[in-house]
Structure 1
Amino acid sequence: MTSEALVTETAASSSKGRPAKKSKKSGGPGLFARIALFLRQVIGELKKVVTPTRKELINYTLVVLVFVIIVMGIVTVLDLGFGRAVLWIFGGSKSLEQ
């Protein structure tokens, strides 16, 4: 096999041309058929949903509230720390009523 034949085969096998445009009549489902399929899939997924029991719901709510309180505490401490650091760096001890 010559190097010219090798290059030609390689170039032919790895062509990166754009794919042909699809015609409007591709034979696929129409607009209303796609909407109906989507609605059937939504209904199928909603049938899989399991609602939590009262005990689970209370437990989930408490977990979320505790997490929010912890994050609020962290943000408050960071805010106070950064505020004091900025006042210390830029000399915020001067009064504004001069």
Structure 2
Amino acid sequence: MGDRKHRRGGAITAGDDDEDDLAPARSRRAARTATREGSGTRSRAEAERARAEGVRQKRSLARFLREVVAELRKVIWPGRRELLTYTTVVIVFVAFVVALVAGLDLLFAQGVIAVFG
């Protein structure tokens, strides 16, 4: 059954069990007519008005501040011990990177002086 090919609605299909093959393809004209009959899309003016309203709502300062407060309430703030631990780790790491960069700088400077005199 899977190897047989059938011609339906101008299209060659393989197999009988595909329900998608039974529906004929709509033309552009039929699609445009269907959109005009009520189940279609909005007009351009309606879309522009909806977009402008959305932009106004997005730009509201009060709304922005409410959302910021709502997001800050979700944050799990570190305790005193965690804060000291994290701060210490960051300071030690930064000191290590500064020492590494300074050491490489001195090494390359000595190399340049040795090569170019």
TM-score, length basis structure 2: 0.51
* 1:76 corresponding residue in structure 2: 102
Matching residue of 2:49: 25
Aligned partners of 1:57, 1:43: CA distance in 2, in Å?
Answer: 22
Amino acid paired to 2:101: V
How many residues align structurally? 73
Structure with the bigger percentage of strand: 2
Runs of 4+ in 1 over 6 A off after TM superposition: none
| Residues 1:43 and 2:69 aligned together | yes
Structure 2 CA distance, aligned partners of 1:39 and 1:68? 34
CA distance in 1, matches of 2:108, 2:74: 48
The sequence identity of aligned pairs, in percent, is 41
1:77 and 1:30, CA in 2 relative to 1: closer, same or farther beyond 3 A?
A: closer
RCO greater where, 1 or 2, for CA within 8 Å and sep 6 or more? 2
Q: Which has the larger radius of gyration?
A: 2
Once the two structures are TM-superposed, the CA of residue 30 in structure 1 deviates from its matched residue by: 5.5
Cα RMSD for the two superposed structures: 2.7
Instruction: Please give the TM-score of this superposition, normalised by the length of structure 1.
Output: 0.59
Provide the residue aligned with 1:85 in structure 2.
111
Question: Following superposition of structure 1 onto structure 2, how do residues 48-67 of structure 1 map, counting pairs within 5 Å?
Answer: 48-67=74-93
Flag structure 1 segments of 5+ consecutive residues without an equivalent: 2-11, 13-21, 92-98
Q: Deviations over 1:11-40 (max 9, x none)?
A: x9xxxxxxxxx6442364362x32244333
